[in-house]
Homo-oligomer: A and B are copies of this chain.
Amino acid sequence: MPSEFELIRRHFTRPTPQALLGPGDDCALLIPSEGMLLAVTTDMLVEGTHFLPDTDPCALGWKTLAVSLSDLAAMGARPRWALLAGSLPADDESWIAQFAAGLFACAGRHAVDVVGGDTTRGPRNLCLTAIGELPAATALRRDRALPGDDLWLSGQTGLAALGLAHLQGRVHLGEALRDTCVHCVAAAVAARRTRHSPARPGARRDRRLGRPARRPRPYRRAVAGRRRDLARSPAAAAGGIEPLLARRCQLAGGDDYELLFTAAVDRRDQLAALAGELELPLWRCGSIVAAPVGAVRVVDEDGQDSGFCDDRGFDHFA
């Protein structure tokens, strides 16, 4: 096994044209663009919690960065820099090489410089911090939604979680749905089947679509997973599945990499046109109502209102 320094040199040191100083010193040095905000996010992926031990390391490398790029995209930021800290078992340079290949493939696709990090020994754990930039007026914030706004979703959610439940034996899916959902686990792990939709400065700054904070982010699509021409709801598509499980997967399953955003009602035509222009499936999946923060009122396919629930996302300590 090469030394820690040799491993970093071999696998994690690439040119960093966007940085004044990249890996090798105590810090990376970056020159922020004048007048832009920084958007910063950090995500930790733990073996056994966020990925299975036998996950393809190349796909995992891609996902490790894609998860954080997804956060940047959700706020309308253009990704620029990333730092990777990793705790790894000591004995598998081949795994490390494949992981790095996936990571840097994703970084190259999205013009991200990996400017620094930390490598240590321990249970496999990957922590990525991504830094992006955005014009101050265009930040897409969760606290900007207004009652009455439409809630839009690109694609659908819950398939990866259903596929994982199948792999774990918690549910038995029929063949067609199983293939779709297990495929979504793979797609979520890798987010590889995305088609590249580079940040469109024109679209990003087009204010005609509504208030800045409520415009859709075409860029998100670059990390939004593959398109799916499937029924909107896994619960609807999976007749034999226990409804509560299906709903939990859909509302709080995770690993979906889709865009959920709000827009004023008078933007519907423009959003439909935008969906066509971008070949991006967008559908109105709900609306904002006055209710306690975090509450979700679920209306079934048949129109039945099942009241409020508080599935606010996957809870690691639940």
Contact = CB atoms under 8 A, between A and B. Distances in A.
A231 to B, nearest CB: 27
A4 interface: yes
A38 interface: yes
Contacts of A123: 46, 122-123, 125
A97 interface: no
A228 interface: no
A258 to B, nearest CB: 13
Interface in A130-179: 131-132, 136, 139, 141-143
One complex includes copies of this chain to the number of 2
Interface in A25-46: 25-32, 34, 36-44, 46
A275 interface: no
B7 A127 contact: no
Contacts of A13: none
B38 A71 contact: no
Interface in A1-58: 1-5, 7, 20-21, 24-32, 34, 36-44, 46-50
A81 interface: yes
Contacts of A77: 27
A270 interface: no
Q: Chain B CB within 10 Å — which of A7, A20, A87, A115 has the most? A: A87
**9 closest A-B pairs (Cβ-Cβ)?**
A46-B122, A127-B127, A27-B39, A44-B85, A26-B74, A26-B71, A30-B38, A121-B316, A129-B129
7 contacts: A1-B317, A26-B72, A27-B77, A28-B40, A34-B34, A40-B81, A42-B84
Interface of A: 1-5, 7, 20-21, 24-32, 34, 36-44, 46-50, 70-72, 74-75, 77, 81, 83-87, 90, 115-123, 125, 127, 129, 131-132, 136, 139, 141-143, 312-313, 315-318
